[in-house]
Amino acid sequence: MKGAIYPNFRKKHALECCDRVCDIMNKIGIEVYMDECYKKEFAHKDYVKYGHFDDIAEDIDVAVAVGGDGTILKCAKYLVERDTLLIGINTGRLGFMSALEYDQLEQVEKLLLGGCKVSERMLLTCKIQNGNDSVYKLRALNDVTISAAYSDICDFDVYCDGLNIGSYRADGAVFSTPTGSTAYSLSAGGPIIEPDMKCIEMTLICPHSLFTRPMIFSPDRRLRFVNTAEDNPELFVSVDGGNPIKLPRGSSVEITGSKHVIKLADMASNDFFNSLNKKFMRPLK
């Protein structure tokens, strides 16, 4: 069995957490891999093997992301189209997608040996046509956000399977998976959706209307956001919080459910509803 660790050492406790996870994996006979940029931090562990993470991800059974939700999202991008279990260990602030907190490492061995529920999380496929015959195709575990810089208001149309469902004026729109419903979409006023469901949520960002509400679509619908107005500010597309891609006037973004999923580990003590109660219904420390 092969496993890889994907850390974010900018998070408090992440380094010591990774050190312990390495030892646990080695103890139970899992080959341990890390990106070669971490050789210095783990030079004292002669059993750790190194390489480029995109190459490592092609041949592992389990990936352990140590950090916050952003770390899990970045790690997940390497696991698309692979049958790899993703385990999140939270050393950040929220860590809503994590199976464990950094002070629960006594349960890591159980997780690595299959003692957990596996939640299959849907992905979005995002196709960006930027008007210059350039097409970007990306996948999102959380969301696809389209907005202007500096919160400028803009006008845009949204289509569902070729039919116009609305012409909107807002700061932008968030198209999210159920997993992403507790991220930016929630902050923009969208509903919380149980993560094992399959649907696409559209939430407008600060709509200039008294009556606009979030909408839920089945995952096989083909949604299209079109940048329409001549006097719109510059719009940008960001997938799972990644680097923004410019969307010129007349360009479009097509969003639909992906046939691929990410397998995310869940522990009973940190499942969706327990995490919802602990991390959203009470003030964060």
Q: Is 143 a catalytic residue?
A: no
Q: Hey, CA dihedral for 209, 224, 69, 43, is it positive or negative?
A: negative
Is residue 139 within 8 A of residue 125, CB to CB? The reply is yes
- Helix or strand holding residue 23 (H, E): helix 14-27
Q: Hey, CA dihedral for 235, 221, 256, 205, is it positive or negative?
A: positive
- Judged by phi (left if over 0) then psi (alpha if -120 to 50, else beta), residue 122 lies in beta
In the set 69, 143, 240, 266, the catalytic residue is 69
Tokens of 58: 């092609």
Is residue 224 within 8 A of residue 158, CB to CB? The reply is yes
Is residue 153 within 8 A of residue 169, CB to CB? The reply is yes
Which amino acid makes up residue 199? C
Composition of the chain by helix, strand, coil, percent to 5 = 25, 40, 40
263 pairs with which residues across the strands? 85, 120
Alpha carbon distance 277, 264 (integer Å) = 20
Tokens 């999923």 correspond to 261
Nearest to 114 by CA among 53, 197, 28, 190: 28
253 pairs with which residues across the strands? 128, 225
Q: What does the DSSP 8-state code read for residue 272?
A: H
Active site residues: 69
